[in-house]
Chain A
Amino acid sequence: MEHSGSTRVQQFIGDPLTGSAPVERSKLEEIFRDIQADLRFDHQLNGCLNCGICTATCPSAHYYDYSPREIVQLLWTENLEGIYDAMQEKIWACAQCYTCAARCPFGNSPGGLVMLMRETAIKHGMESAKNVLRPFSRVMLKLISTGNQLSPDMISRDAFPDWGPNISKVDAPLATLRKAIPVPTLHTTKTAWEVNLKTSVELYTIWEETGVLESLKAVDPNLFDVIRDIMDEKREEYSDWQEEQEEEDDD
């Protein structure tokens, strides 16, 4: 990051001396309004005396330039420039453990507030969100099309080289090892468990109705297209099955 002659705030917000503003005030207000409009906001932000208990307990604060106290202060004081700045990087450091929420004497949930800021970053198609979500494509593809977030075939030595050589300590084809799990719903390799077609179709309706697909389209249009194709096929398949059932019932 360039520091010569400008602070990080100046880089994102503009130069307070010259008055230049790369991000319009109206945009900053719109972003804050979106965060504030979530029904959870008033439950998660009750006040703040800067005591710092949240940051004292925070695992991410050990490793990142991140402080839940700062996040709460920015939102509590409605520091629009600071909020926008934090959304460029800092909010993605939070490990979502909610230790901060468990300890806050005010009953604030800094971790919960971070989620509202992440959702808003995605809604506004911020570059930070796009960068952060890139490695999540496969998880999101699985999740949105099957309702599973992780599948056995995602755990490989190539994907997780730092986990060591033992993905399984018994050497056998993945499909055989999965069939050796004595839980019949788990005899799968592409999903964590066997998912009913009807279930996937219902879940897709939820994604559509709640605007999640639109959010996905804003940050990853290619993934959105792939998922739409998969789900259209599943809907068609389910519709065919329903028609077959009706015909059988008529017979």
Chain B
Amino acid sequence: MSKPTDTPAGERFTGHGPEWQNTQLSAKDAQVATVWVEQIINKRSMQTGKERVEDVRDIMWQLEKDGQIVVHRVTEEHKPVMVKTLYGWDKKIPTVRLWHHKSCGQCGNIPGYPASLLWLMNQLGTEYLDETDQTSCTAWNYHGSGIGNIESLAAVFLRNFHQAYVAAKAQGLPDGYYYPLVHCGTSFGNYKEVRGYLLHSAKLRERVRQILGKLGRLVDGKLLIPEEIVHYSEWLHVMREEVAKLRQIDCSNIRATIHPACHVYKMVPEDVIYDDKVLDGNRVAVSTGIMQTLGAEVIDYSTWYDCCGFGFRHIISEREFTRSFAIDRKIRVAVEEAHADVMIGHDTGCITTLDKNQWISKADGRPVGLPVLADCQFAALVCGAHPYKIVQSHWHASATEALMEKLGIDWRAKKAEFEEYLKEVAAGRAETLYDPRRKITSGPGFKRIGQPG
């Protein structure tokens, strides 16, 4: 074994430790020796600590019983579907009366993502509210820059969820009528993590209670905690059979690779859906479930568990990492190994990273191209949604046209229709998915317009 003094100057903290030395094992022997630290993050690898993981909802119910908090319940009126999570626990997924907790990255950069989701809900007759009284979760900035802290994250979380609770008042409906549906994977992971800390720490609860009190965001003087934190991909998963009934385009010739999002299934992993009918329950069920139900062929690839390379700060200021990781560990593997026609995701940063970071592969003379879409965009597309008006595919840098051609969609004709439609838009005759007057529920600009119907 080498001694610390053998280490070259300046290399004391290398990440390996001063005693590290090459084992000189053959590649095969090295594989045998290290297989126990395999990288894959599947169900089995996360079940090792099951007995040490607690269900924070038990603390939540006790706190409510003790009169310390109020729980925003998923009621029968939300027509919940029960699913199983990693450890076989139950999770209630509301399917109607949904309050859309939008994603800043999706709305700013991939607008076809929320538009497709709302379009699907319209097709299914799902009641929902999309409004202006909402902030982002602020977690992209937090994870990227470190500006923020547990108190700010918790206060933002509870402010937004309180608004979801009271929003129906604008329509003369009771508190708790709508249940929040979180669009962004980062928000989903962050909110679940923060809920855990709020339930564990009386000090944090008291601090945040004071802040929300100043904002008038308490219920009977208490913090309002959601019974479940629900991601849109979970709604899509439990609605997959209903969505598949709307399918107009055969997609059985599509080879789809799935990118499961880190903040969806690795952050607070015990709260993620695993379904025995989807990949034998070995991997997170969302996205794969809807794709299979729609009839597409889901193809495995060796780096399915890897992150996309987003990195939160890296996509802004160290894109060498982001694009290298996205191309080498995800896109190129999906293309060359899985011969994929599309990469499907369920999170904002992943879709952005995988979609936008392909063009630069031309720079090293090894171009790689793969259409990248969110699961709900693909679902909307094969259910007959307009590829430009609804799916808004023109915002995608990747070759979504190639996917549309394989699906038999005449994208040139659809694009021409859209360009013609832009004249109507410019003249103030844009089509919308819901009555725009509903978007303001209080404050400047609010006008009561009655109950939804």
Contact = CB atoms under 8 A, between A and B. Distances in A.
Nearest to A194: B132
B100 to A, nearest CB: 9
Given A67-B16, A99-B307, A180-B425, A129 B146 contact: yes
Given A39-B150, A60-B321, A196 B397 contact: no
Contact-residue size bin, chain A (C-beta under 8 Å from the other chain): 35 or more
A206 B142 contact: no
Given A95-B314, A97-B262, A241 B444 contact: yes
Contact-residue size bin, chain B (C-beta under 8 Å from the other chain): 35 or more
B105 A192 contact: yes
A159 to B, nearest CB: 9
Given A135-B316, A170-B422, A210 B13 contact: no
Contacts of B141: 136, 139-140, 143, 149
B65 interface: no
Given A38-B150, A154-B108, A170-B418, A132 B13 contact: no
B109 A152 contact: yes
Contacts of A7: 9-12
Contact of A59 (B142, B152, B267, B325): B325
Contacts of A199: 132-135, 443
A80 interface: no
A86 interface: yes
B85 interface: no
Interface of B: 9-17, 34, 37-39, 41, 45-46, 48-49, 52-53, 102-109, 111-112, 114-115, 118-119, 130-136, 138, 140-152, 155-156, 159, 189, 197, 200-201, 203-204, 210-211, 214-215, 217, 262-263, 265-267, 269, 305-307, 309-314, 316-317, 319, 321, 323-325, 329, 356-360, 363, 388-390, 392-397, 415, 418-419, 421-422, 425-426, 430-434, 436, 439-440, 442-445
Interface of A: 1, 3-9, 38-40, 43, 50-53, 55-57, 59-67, 69-70, 82, 85-86, 90, 92, 95-99, 101-103, 105, 107, 115, 118-119, 121-122, 129, 132-136, 139-140, 143, 147-152, 154-155, 160, 162-170, 172, 176-187, 191-199, 202-203, 205-207, 209-212, 215-216, 219, 238, 241
Given A8-B12, A59-B329, 20 more contacts: A3-B9, A7-B11, A67-B16, A97-B262, A107-B52, A132-B317, A140-B147, A148-B107, A152-B109, A164-B358, A166-B397, A169-B394, A170-B415, A182-B115, A186-B114, A196-B445, A210-B152, A211-B149, A215-B147, A216-B147
